[in-house]
Each structure stands twice: as structure tokens, then as C-alpha cells.
Amino acid sequence: MNQTEQLVEEYLSNKTKLYQDWYKGLQQLEEDSDTELFAPPSSEKGIRERFKIWFAENKERLREDICIKWGYSGKKDQFQKRSLLIISISVDCLAVAFLIPATNTITTATILVVDDYLDELCSHCSLK
């Protein structure tokens, strides 16, 4: 098992860390000199709500890149391990199509898979 698979397995077993790392990675406040630091949501629930907002804002683009171009519905059952599906989505879809930090593609893909966002996103896909 390589380091990326180990990280995904850690996220799969610790959703609090998953959501905290997603939030930290998405914000990248330390690198932006024009942004003032502010307190992040204090709970996993608060960060989950932030993810829902991010998902709603990016839903159509996610559908285009993951469901239509990549063919998620037809590919998802080909992966024997969820960690490999997550890594594939991270590399093949999110890293290429979205302007999110490379370190955050794993957290984003993990949330999309384990919290059933992708099944919701691609539920009407005719490419099954």
C-alpha cells in the first residue's frame, strides 16, 4: 500500500480528520497575503455544512467532469477497493478539472464517495 492509499484509508476511518483536512486544504489561508485569518467552523458539522455549500456551487461542473466525461456510473463497480476509486477520481477528474489545491483532491474525492455525493450527482446518468 502506497502513501496515498494509506492516507485515504486513514480518512475512511476518521471522518473528523477528513473534513478538517478538507477545510484546511480548501482555505489555504497561510499562502494568501490578501486574506485575513478567521476562525474555522468549530465542529465537524459546521465543516460538513461548508462542504454542502461547496458541492452545491460546483454540482454541474462535477456532473460534467465525473459523471459524463469520466463515466463514474459505469466505472465505479470496477474498483474492488474504495480507496482506489477515490484516488482515480482525484487524479482523473478533480486534479485536472478543478482549481483546488492538489493536496485537497484526495479529501474532496473521499467525501464525494463516502458520503454518497457521487451517487446523488450521477443518479440520473444514462451512461450506466
Looking at residue 39, what is its pLDDT?
A: 54
pLDDT in tens, 101-128: 666 899 999 999 999 999 888 887 654 4
Name the maximum alpha-carbon separation found in the chain: 45
Looking at residue 123, what is its pLDDT?
A: 81
pLDDT in tens, 81-108: 999 999 999 988 888 777 676 668 999 9
CB atoms within 10 A of CB 95: 17
**Cβ atoms of residues 51 and 22 within 8 Å:** yes
53 SS3 class = helix
Looking at residue 29, what is its pLDDT?
A: 45
Looking at residue 19, what is its pLDDT?
A: 92
**Cβ atoms of residues 67 and 122 within 8 Å:** yes
Q: What is the DSSP letter of 70?
A: S
Q: What angle do CA 30, 32, 86 make, to 5 degrees?
A: 70
pLDDT in tens, 14-46: 999 999 999 888 765 445 555 455 555 568 888
Looking at residue 25, what is its pLDDT?
A: 82
Looking at residue 128, what is its pLDDT?
A: 46
